[in-house]
Amino acid sequence: MELLQVDVGDMIKVKQILDETVAATVLEQIDEDYHFDNFKLLLMAIACAFAMVAQFAPLPFPESRIVIGVCCASYFVLSTVLQLITTIIDQDCILLTRPLPKDGKKDDPNDIDIIGRTIFRKSPKDIKNKDLFGYGVRVRSQFERFSEWYTVILEFEQKKDTPCVEQKWSVGQFFDTEGMFDEIGLQMEVEKLYRRLEDADYDIKSAAEKKKD
């Protein structure tokens, strides 16, 4: 297996590599939900359509002023909506998943990890956390500027007062001084974190659970 080398001084690239590995590891266990991404792509496509009409509509000027004005205003509004979605809703989210099917994610003979092992998944009956079957998982990551600490948070999407599991690592655990990336090491750590979610071994409990305690 060829190791990936990254310029560790490029914080954006380092986070991108870490995020992609985290998302890929979680997707070995549960399927991605594309609905929200498709909605954002639709808004982008509509905004681009307005821009193309404003640019290429075969209308003479100044008769085309109203059309151009409407198209420019629509493009601005849609772009603003997309920016608000990214800032307020997406925030630090890197992945949304579907709820786990009642019979679990289907096994595939081609499900092989990067070191040639068949991907292990728990049997649904062995999964203690039944919320996985009712809610999708929101995967969040945090990597503050000039910080060595990379944090991954797994919580439930659209669940009120959702509990979560969280783990923080030093990026030096996965990159050496030459920028060689230990992808397997990160995958193993993320898999441990996901197992904690399966076992309902939360770091932060929901408000309802705190009241029970």
Instruction: Please choose, from the candidates 173, 204, 199, the residue with its C-alpha nearest in 3D space to the C-alpha of residue 188.
Output: 173
Domain ranges of the chain: 4-33+97-212, 40-89
For 11-19, the CB contacts below 8 A with 24+ separation are: 11/143, 11/145, 11/146, 14/143, 14/171, 14/175, 15/141, 15/143, 15/150, 17/181, 18/141, 18/143, 18/150, 18/171, 18/174, 18/186, 19/94, 19/141
The pairing of strands 4-5 and 93-96 is unpaired
Q: Which two tokens stand for residue 149?
A: 């600490």
Query: Are 177 and 13 contacting, i.e. CB atoms less than 8 angstroms apart?
Result: no
pTM recorded for the entire structure: 0.82
Residue 175: the pLDDT is: 93
Residue 109: the pLDDT is: 53
pLDDT along the chain (213 residues), means of 10: 81 94 94 94 95 86 85 94 91 94 72 60 88 95 93 93 94 91 93 95 65 49
Query: Are 124 and 104 contacting, i.e. CB atoms less than 8 angstroms apart?
Result: yes
Instruction: Please choose, from the candidates 109, 114, 154, the residue with its C-alpha nearest in 3D space to the C-alpha of residue 135.
Output: 154
Residue 103: the pLDDT is: 83
DSSP letter (8 states) at residue 176? -
With a CB cutoff of 8 Å and minimum separation 6, the contacts of 37 are: 96
With a CB cutoff of 8 Å and minimum separation 6, the contacts of 188 are: none
E strands present in the chain? 4-5, 93-96, 137-142, 149-156, 164-170, 180-181
Residue whose pair of structure tokens reads 């690239």 in the numeric block: 13
Residue 139: the pLDDT is: 97
